[in-house]
Structure formats: C-alpha cells, structure tokens
C-alpha cells in the first residue's frame, strides 16, 4: 500500500466519454434529490440522529449493506482477492452476525430506547464505561473508517482520473478531498434520514455495477473454468495453513467472529440504522434483509479481484498495486456507459461509507460527550456541535493516512488489523454484559481499560515495526525478544492477537466482577438475558422471519463447503 498510487500512469486506461459523464451526473442529481427530499424536516435531535425512529425494513437493510460495503471493499477487498484469493471471504460471510444482532441483542437495545450504544452501557454498567467506549469509538473512526475511506477514495479517483490535478495537487489528494466535501454537504444538511435513504439507492447501484464488472470480467477471461485453471488452487481455499503469516486458519476461525460480532452487533456505525426502525419487528427484518445483501461481496468484490489476477497473468490488463485492481478493471474492461455506471457505483460506495461515519461521529460526540458535559442544551446547538465534531474527526483521519502503510501492505488487511486491536474488549463487554448478570461496572471498566491499553500498544508497536521494516528489513527479520521486544510484539499476527486480547479482556472482566459486589437489580432488569421477555418481544417475529433466517444460514454453509478445499485441493495444516 502506497500513499500515492502510481498504477494509473502506466495502465493507459481509457478516458471517460460523454455517455459515462452523463450517467455519473445523473447519479449525483439523484443523490442530491433524495438527500433534499429526505432531509426537509430536521427539527429535533431524534430527527437528525435517528431519522425520527420511523424507517422501514427495506431501507434499514439496504443502509446496513451500503454503510458496510464502502470503498475499502471495492478497493481493498478486491485487492486481497487478487493477492490471497478467497481468504478474506470469512469477513464477508458474517451475515450470520447480523442475524445475531436482530435476534439476540436488538431487543435489549430497542427496549432501552437509547440513541447510542455507549448510552446502553451506561444503563447496564456506569457512566465511566460510556465515556471510555465513546472516546475509543471516535478514535477508532480516525484509525479505520475515516482514514481508510478517504484513502480508498483517493486511490479510485487517481486511478480513473490521473489528469485531475487542480492547483498542482496530486490526483490522489484531489479525489480524497472531493469525496469528503461532497459527502459532507448532504450528510450535514440531511442527517441520518438523508444518509439511510441515499444509501438505499446507492446499494442498488453498487450491486448492479459490481455484478456487471464480474460478468464482463469472466467473459473476457473465458469463464469460471478458465479462472480456476489459471490461478493457484490455494486461491480458492478459505482455510490457510496454521503457519500462514497473514491468514492462519486458527486466527480466521476464532478472531474473525470476534471482530464480526463487534462490528455488526455493537458498533454505533452499524447499529444506529436499526435503532431508527419503527419497531422491533421492522428493525429485525431489516437485519435479515441486510444479511441477504451481505452475502454478495464474495461474488462482486473478491471474485472480481481474482478475475483481475487471472487477467494479469494472461497479459490482458496490468496493475502494480493490488489496491488498484478494481478501478483498473473498470477503466480497462468496461464499455462506455457501463463504465460510467460502475464509476457511479464506486462513488456511491465512497460516499455511503463517509456519510455513515459522519452521522455516527456526530451522534456519538453530541449524545455521549457534549450532552454529558452541558446537559439541557437547545436542539439546534446539539446538531451544530455534532457537525463540528465530525469535521475534527475527519481532519484527524486524513492526517493519519501517511502512517497507514507502516501497519499493513494492503488496505483491507490494514482495516482488519486495526479493528482486531480495538474490537475484542468491546465484544467482550457487550456480550458478557448481556448474557452474564453477575458482570458489574467495576469489571466492565477494568476490562475496557486493560483491553484498550493492550490493543493500542500493539498498534503502536506495529507502526514502529513497519517504519523500521521500510528502512532496515534485516533488523526486523533478525529481531528477538531479547534484542527488540517492541518489533517482536508488533509482528505478532493480528488475528492471533485478537484472540489473545479477547480472552484477556474477558478474564479481567469476570475476575474483577467476582471479586467485587454484584450489580444492583436496576442494572440488569430488562438489560440482560433472564430479565424476562416483554410482550413486544413476543410479537416481534413471524414464521417467515425464521424461514429467511434459515435460508441465509444455509447459503453461508454452502459457500464454506464449496471453498473449503474439497473441490480445489489443499486445506489447513
């Protein structure tokens, strides 16, 4: 991963023609119209942050998908597909985590009538837990969502528009800043209602454009069979050997679910969409629909990356950086008009990711920080403060971009690495807090502090080791605990570290809770399993919700079986 991609200058990509620009312009006009229509009434903080809690299941599901499937997927996931095959598909098969959200945690979240998930932690544990999680969540947005999305936006624009150099600025930074500004305008004006409704429209463009690229790429290559014969059979295996330096199968088996459960079930960025539902039934159906959509990235992002690798082996396209394979394929393979549609899909992904980050940042800071410091402030002031907070987080994320290459050599791997250092304590506190009534505020806070200190220490050591690696690779290769423990700690596989961190966080939480008094009844009543189901929960599902849940699970199992080494050889060892 390089901060200024150079692929485009040598790829000789076809320029966009009038028809392409017409399609792109039509897309932007449509997004602007939806944002204006949906954001007309923003009178209260509930309107701005939770769309008045009146969103339907289709919009919730599409918004969940579009929020998740951002630029890091189009750019980074396709890049990992070209480099490692289907290894990263583990994260895309986390549709089952959405089902856990809808069936297990969502009843507790909705019953508590919270704006944010840190607010839920305050009700379950203490204000201190809410403060810590809010601040760490904002920090996580800087390290992951903002920096990754802006980086990917710059990569896409620089690859497709290498001639874009206003005021002498590079194509990368020109594209990155343009995406930030355009997205910020409609998010700030419309709030969450504008975000979720534009995301619903963008999800359609995103799936349609990426599916088109997949089919045309396979056609150019000569079909699925030609791809399986061209690439190494190990590219089609989800399970890598235990000593694989990047994706060892024990790490993928245990760490990926830890990160997935945090992201899909406890992250404000995602769960905020479900809190905007009309009722529990609507929100749960939104998660089921979102789970269906979440199954598609394996076929419309990872597979295109593998197609790109096969095309490169055959000399049909060329790219230097794996993070530029998807935009390179768009420019090199697609005809006029369709190329414009897919570029619109790329822009949709960039903007939907940033829009979600913007709204979640404003909600977290305003509700969990500012209102705690200055309670009872006017509604308009709260909305203004949220917008200012978002701007600060975005600027910090842009400033972090030059550091990213010291963490990982690929965009999507970078994202998963940083999330692996921040997610385990959050997964532990939410799930253990809901399932074990004996967990108390003292244990939760101790676990959060220990977990985040260890996680941020690992990230710092990895940044340090990455910087050394650029200048002195031999020193890193020869490092031992006695000669350079910082490098050795930084070089621990990110997946295995996530497992260790989750176990440590859970152990601290349980031990400290057992050594201190049990939580009072008001901290567990209605907020933990065993607290009694409400009448609302009893009436919140039908047999069709159960049937569709079963279908999603069957599809996941089928994909795992197909890419398990049974058909292509190889397997974990």
Q: How many domains does the chain have?
A: 1
**pLDDT more than 70, % of the chain:** 81
Residue 570 placed within a domain: no
**Residue of 300 and 411 predicted with greater confidence:** 300
Provide the token pair at 77: 């996931």
Distances (CA, A) of 185 to 206, 249, 391: 21, 43, 11
Provide the pLDDT for residue 1. Answer: 47
Residue 84 placed within a domain: yes
Closest-CA residue to 409 (of 321, 307, 319): 321
- pLDDT above 50 (res 355): yes
- pLDDT above 70 (res 476): no
Provide the pLDDT for residue 3. Answer: 39
Distances (CA, A) of 509 to 294, 497, 519: 32, 18, 13
Mean pLDDT, range 486-506, rounded to an integer:
91
Listed range (158-167, 197-206, 467-476) with the worst mean pLDDT:
467-476
Beta partners for residue 55, in sequence order: 277
Mean pLDDT, range 355-362, rounded to an integer:
72
**Residue of 476 and 157 predicted with greater confidence:** 157
- Cα 363 to Cα 386: distance, rounded to the nearest angstrom: 6
What digits encode the pLDDT tens for the residues 105-153?
A: 998 888 887 877 888 999 999 999 988 998 888 888 888 878 887 887 7
Provide the pLDDT for residue 572. Answer: 47
What digits encode the pLDDT tens for the residues 409-420?
A: 677 788 888 999
Residue 571 placed within a domain: no
Provide the token pair at 271: 């769960």
Residue 2 placed within a domain: no
Residue 572 placed within a domain: no
Residue 573 placed within a domain: no
What digits encode the pLDDT tens for the residues 48-73?
A: 444 445 678 888 888 788 778 766 67
Provide the pLDDT for residue 56. Answer: 82
CA-angle at 301, arms to 299 and 302, nearest 5°: 75
**pLDDT more than 90, % of the chain:** 28
Read off the pLDDT band of 5 (50, 70, 90). Answer: very low
- pLDDT above 90 (res 514): yes
Residue 435 placed within a domain: yes
- pLDDT above 60 (res 427): yes
Q: Which residues of 256-336 form beta strands (DSSP E)?
A: none
Identify the three-state secondary structure at position 482. coil
Provide the token pair at 63: 């918004």
**Residue of 171 and 291 predicted with greater confidence:** 291
What digits encode the pLDDT tens for the residues 321-354?
A: 777 888 888 888 888 888 887 787 777 667 767 7
Mean pLDDT, range 278-297, rounded to an integer:
91
- pLDDT above 60 (res 11): no
Tokens 């009309």 belong to residue? 278
Read off the pLDDT band of 470 (50, 70, 90). Answer: low
How many residues are listed for the chain in this entry? 573
State the residue range of the domain holding 546: 7-562
Listed range (136-140, 192-196, 400-404) with the worst mean pLDDT:
192-196
CATH code for position 124: 1.20.1730.10
Most confident of 1-10, 259-268, 423-432, 456-465: 423-432
Provide the pLDDT for residue 570. Answer: 47
* Residues 425, 402 contacting (CB under 8 angstroms): no
Burial class (CB in 10 A: 0-12, 13-18, 19+), 148: buried
Mean pLDDT, range 235-260, rounded to an integer:
89
Tell me what the pLDDT averaged over the chain comes to: 81
- Cα 230 to Cα 252: distance, rounded to the nearest angstrom: 26
Provide the pLDDT for residue 370. Answer: 84
Mean pLDDT, range 146-167, rounded to an integer:
76
Provide the pLDDT for residue 116. Answer: 79
Residue 198 placed within a domain: yes
């Amino acid at each position: 991963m390089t901060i200024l991609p150079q692929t485009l200058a040598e790829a000789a990509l076809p320029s966009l023609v009038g028809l392409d620009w017409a399609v792109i312009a039509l897309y932007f006009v449509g997004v602007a119209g939806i944002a204006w229509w949906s954001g007309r009434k923003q009178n209260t903080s509930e309107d701005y942050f939770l769309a008045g809690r009146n969103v339907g299941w289709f919009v919730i599901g599409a918004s969940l998908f579009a929020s998740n499937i951002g630029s890091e997927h189009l750019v980074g996931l396709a890049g990992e597909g070209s480099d490692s095959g289907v290894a990263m598909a583990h994260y895309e098969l986390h549709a089952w985590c959405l089902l856990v959200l809808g069936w297990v945690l969502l009843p507790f979240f909705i019953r508590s009538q919270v704006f944010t998930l840190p607010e839920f932690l305050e009700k379950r544990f203490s204000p201190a837990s809410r403060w810590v999680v809010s601040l760490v969540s904002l920090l996580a947005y800087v390290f992951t969502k903002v920096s990754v999305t802006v980086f990917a936006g710059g990569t896409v624009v620089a690859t497709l528009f290498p001639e874009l150099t206003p005021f002498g600025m590079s194509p990368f930074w020109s594209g990155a800043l343009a995406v930030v500004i355009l997205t910020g305008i409609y998010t700030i004006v419309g709030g969450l209602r504008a975000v979720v409704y534009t995301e619903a429209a963008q999800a359609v463009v995103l799936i349609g454009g990426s599916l088109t690229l997949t089919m045309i790429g396979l056609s150019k290559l000569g079909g699925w069979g030609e791809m399986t014969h061209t690439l190494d059979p190990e590219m089609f295996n989800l399970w890598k050997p235990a000593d694989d330096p990047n994706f060892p199968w024990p790490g993928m088996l245990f760490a990926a679910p830890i990160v997935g459960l945090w992201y899909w079930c406890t992250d404000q960025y995602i769960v905020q969409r479900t809190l905007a539902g009309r009722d529990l039934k609507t929100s749960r159906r939104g998660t089921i629909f979102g789970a269906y959509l979440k199954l598609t990235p394996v076929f419309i992002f990872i597979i295109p990356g593998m197609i790109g690798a096969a095309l490169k082996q055959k000399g049909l396209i060329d790219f230097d950086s794996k993070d530029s394979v998807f935009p390179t394929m768009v420019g090199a393979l697609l005809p006029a008009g369709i190329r414009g549609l897919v570029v619109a899909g790329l822009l949709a992904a960039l903007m939907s990711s940033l829009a979600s980050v913007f709204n979640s940042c404003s909600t977290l800071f305003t509700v969990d920080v500012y209102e705690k410091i200055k309670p009872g402030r006017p509604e308009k002031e709260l909305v203004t403060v949220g917008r200012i907070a978002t701007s600060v987080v975005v600027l910090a994320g842009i400033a972090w971009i030059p550091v990213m290459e010291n963490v990982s050599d690929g965009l999507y791997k970078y994202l998963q690495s940083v999330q692996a250092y921040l997610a385990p304590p959050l997964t532990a506190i939410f799930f253990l807090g809901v399932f074990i009534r004996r967990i108390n505020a003292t244990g939760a806070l101790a676990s959060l502090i220990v977990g985040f200190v260890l996680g941020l220490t690992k990230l710092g050591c990895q940044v340090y080791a990455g910087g050394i690696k650029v200048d002195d690779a031999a020193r890193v290769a020869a490092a031992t605990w006695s000669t350079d423990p910082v490098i050795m700690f930084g070089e621990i596989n990110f997946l295995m570290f996530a497992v260790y961190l989750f176990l440590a966080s859970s152990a601290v939480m349980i031990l400290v809770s057992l050594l201190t008094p049990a939580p009072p009844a008001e901290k567990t009543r209605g907020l933990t399993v065993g607290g009694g189901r409400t009448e609302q929960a009893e009436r919140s599902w039908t047999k069709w919700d159960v049937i569709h849940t079963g279908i999603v699970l069957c599809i996941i199992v089928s994909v795992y079986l197909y890419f398990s080494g049974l058909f292509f050889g190889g397997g974990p060892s």
